[in-house]
Structure formats: C-alpha cells, structure tokens
Amino acid sequence: MKINRKSRLAEKEMMTTSAVIFDLDGVLTDTAEFHFIAWQAIANKLNVTFDKEDNEKLKGVDRENSLKYILAKGHLAVGTTMFEQLLKEKNDQYLTLINEVNPSHLFDGVLNCFATLKKSNVKIGLASASKNASLVISKLGIEHLFDFIGDAASVANSKPAPDIFLSVAHGLNVLPKNCIGVEDAVAGVSAIKSANMFAVGIGDNQILTQADLVFPNMSEFDFKRVETAFLLSAT
C-alpha cells in the first residue's frame, strides 16, 4: 500500500491550534478550598467523614455527582426533595464564600498566557464543571477575555465525559482536534482526551498521567512549547 506523502503533508499543515480551552478551579484560580468547606458542612450534617483526600477526588466532578459520592461513602440514601435541598445548601454556602473572590485571586501567569494566545489569534474557551463559573470569572475580572464560556448545566454528562469540552469547541466554531484543553484534575484530563483534544495538565505529572504535557502551575505554562508538542503529536 502506497503512502500518499502529499496528503500526509497537507494534513499536517492543516493542523493548527485554533483554541485553548481552560478549566477554572485549580487552573485559573483556586476555589477548591471553598468547595471543601461547603461540602464538609454537608458531610458533617449527614455524619459522614469528609477530608482533603475526598475533596481531591471530587476535582472536576459536578455538584450532583459530588453529593452522590458523599452519600455513597456514608452508605446513605435520600429522597429527591432532600437531595435537591442538600445541593441548594451546599451551593448557598459556596456562593457566600466566593463573594470574597477578586482579581487578586487569579493565578500568576494566567494574564500573560491569555495575552500570548490573543496575540497568536488563538481563541480562548472555558470548560468548567461549576454552574457558578461565570460568576467566578466575572469576579476575577477576566470574563471579557473569553471567546466562549461553556454552560455546565446545558450538557448531558459531566467530566470525565467529553461533553463540556465538545460543547465549548462547538461554541468557538472550531474542530476538537485543533483544540488544546487545560485541566488540573484526572477527570478533566480524561474528558479532554475523550474529546480528541491535546491535554495539558496543571499540577503533578505523577497524578495527571493521561495528559500529553504537564506544567506544575500556570506561571510555567509555555504556549510555544505546548503548541510544538501538539503539532508533533499530530504527525
């Protein structure tokens, strides 16, 4: 079977970075502690032990499945009305806590990264599992920098399913294969890979083993290095 070199070359040349799609918590800012406090209050109410290790497992997991995790850990079952009430209590406490969020809570390196992407004509998207993502980025003062913000409430399946990343790619009018996703959670990285995107992890490379490239934090995020690795991965 002959390999069409011209076709392969053309395909390689067509591979470009159209967009970078970011998670929110743990990537652009850290409201994980707020989630922990709010979930721990719910767990205490249910007499279920909930610690930092549990909170780590819920990174990238939506509100409903986080509550299901706590209930399962306590071998508990509740009716629909109580389930919805617990979700509301958690969210109300979380909203109270994030009232303190302001632009100073933005991680170092984020604004420089966004400036580089804008200069490179690369679109910027947000794919957060949080239904409060728009509120948080508004408080961070970066809402205007996004070309599209995903709505977690509008997708059928939460991370590690690819739905939110595919939804954002669609909103940006770009092909998933031309997107780079940035996540700090195992579930989030799995979602990126399932969406057929290049995955960049922010955090520990011993944990984010499925990511194509990992940086310890956003301060060390190097778009030139990311794009080079992305284009090489397509060959």
CATH number of 32-100: 1.10.150.240
Structural tokens at position 81:
């009305």
Structural tokens at position 199:
């995955």
Cα dist. 12→30, 172, 196, 197 in Å?
37, 22, 16, 15
Structural tokens at position 150:
């995903």
CATH number of 5-30+106-233: 3.40.50.1000
Query: pLDDT tens digits for the chain (235 residues)?
Result: 444 544 443 454 456 889 999 999 999 998 878 889 999 999 999 999 999 899 888 887 889 999 999 999 999 999 999 999 999 999 999 999 999 999 999 999 999 999 999 999 999 999 998 888 999 999 999 999 999 999 988 999 989 999 999 999 999 999 999 999 999 999 999 999 999 999 999 999 999 999 999 999 999 999 999 999 999 987 6
Distance CA 200, CA 184 (A): 8
In DSSP terms, 179 is beta-bridged to: 19
Closest CA to 165 of 152, 227, 205: 152
> What pLDDT sits at residue 130?
85
Cβ 71 vs Cβ 199: under 8 Å: no
pTM (2 d.p.):
0.85
> Which part of the chain has CATH 1.10.150.240?
32-100
Among 23, 62, 163, 212, the one annotated catalytic: 23
> Which part of the chain has CATH 3.40.50.1000?
5-30+106-233
Q: Would you call 25 a catalytic residue per the annotation?
A: yes
Q: Would you call 54 a catalytic residue per the annotation?
A: no
- What are the φ and ψ backbone dihedral angles of 2, each rounded to 5 degrees? -80, 140
